[in-house]
Amino acid sequence: MTNQPRNIAFIGAGNMTQSIVGGMVASGYPSNQIWVSNPSPAKLEKLAHELNVHTSHDNAEVAKHADVIVLAVKPQLMADVCAALRNEVADLADKLIVTIAAGIRIEKYRDYLGANIRMIRVMPNTPSLVGKGMSGLVADDRVSDDDKAYITEAFDGVGATLWVADEDELDILGAVAGSGPAYFFEFMASLQKAAVGLGFDREKARAMVQQTALGAAEMAIASDLELEDLRKQVTSKGGSTAKGIEQYQAYDIDKISDDAVKAAVQRNQEMAKLF
């Protein structure tokens, strides 16, 4: 932890909160400066027992302790949860508000919590649950560089972070990184099926697909080469990989990805209108 720890409260103790808090404590964040609230007891007991953080069933109580409030409930509960906080916590404008809920725009939180809040929206993705997340972040213009550095460090505990310019870019990041694990699983499952179709048993097929995906991702991360050049490096002219790649290109894989990402962006924008 290089940034000064602050008192931070998580509203909602679900999967994402458990991973983020776990990552923060593992990176040296003092657990006595972390509060978590949740209606049901089991998740709180686990967090208190394993990570020694403060817990409560009362959202307002944990929020009152905090300089930073992380809203981590399902989007459909957000309006009610925020309305209760607004009623019960006097100085919300003095606190940094962070939300990880998908789809709800900062403007909407101003309706929920007051026009003068300062706010960061984070879009984590599911691999955050295993410490390999890709979180997109966007801030309103009241958020300071110190606030940004602090939140970056908190989310670096569950993977990588990427600041984007505005909420439209966050929708695009959501369509690539948020939905991306599903695209990769779909592709991995189809490779598995192809191997099974040729006689492999499912477990062996899965083992080779997932290890290959991991290896390719690690190579991409370690390399300065463009992704297309990495692909060419493992594609000898006239070889078997070249024959396989020809099949993907025949179906215009670039168009498939372009269509998929555009459709997901459009859906993100439609869903934002529901709130």
Nearer to ligand NAP, 15 or 32 (CB): 15
Is 197 part of any known ligand binding site? no
DSSP codes joined into one string, 65-121: H-SEEEE-S-GGGHHHHHHHHHHH-TTGGGSEEEE--SS--HHHHHHHH-TT-EEEE
Candidate segments 5-13, 26-34, 144-152, 215-223, binder of ligand NAP by CB under 6 A: 5-13
Nearer to ligand NAP, 75 or 114 (CB): 75
Nearer to ligand NAP, 100 or 139 (CB): 100
Candidate segments 7-15, 159-167, 182-190, 230-238, binder of ligand NAP by CB under 6 A: 7-15
Residue carrying structure tokens 């991702």: 217
Contact mark string toward ligand NAP, 12..31, x via CB under 6 A: xxxxxx--------------
Query: Whole-angstrom Cα distance, residue 212 to residue 184?
Result: 12
Strand partners, 8: 34, 68
Is 95 part of any known ligand binding site? no
Instruction: Please state the closest distance from residue 176 (CB atom) to ligand NAP, in A.
Output: 13
CB 62 within 8 A of CB 35: yes
Query: Whole-angstrom Cα distance, residue 249 to residue 2?
Result: 46
Residues in binding contact with ligand NAP, number by CB under 6 A: 25
Residue 124 CB coordination number (10 Å)? 24
Instruction: Please state the closest distance from residue 4 (CB atom) to ligand NAP, in A.
Output: 26
Strands 118-123 and 133-139: antiparallel
- What residues numbered 100-139 form the site for ligand NAP, per CB under 6 A? 100-102, 124-126
Is 89 part of any known ligand binding site? no
- What residues numbered 41-70 form the site for ligand NAP, per CB under 6 A? 43, 59
Is 11 part of any known ligand binding site? yes
Is 174 part of any known ligand binding site? no
Contact mark string toward ligand NAP, 77..106, x via CB under 6 A: x---x------------------xxx----
What residues are designated binding site? 11-16, 59, 72-75
State the residues that interact with ligand NAP by CB under 6 A. 11-17, 37-40, 43, 59, 72-75, 77, 81, 100-102, 124-126
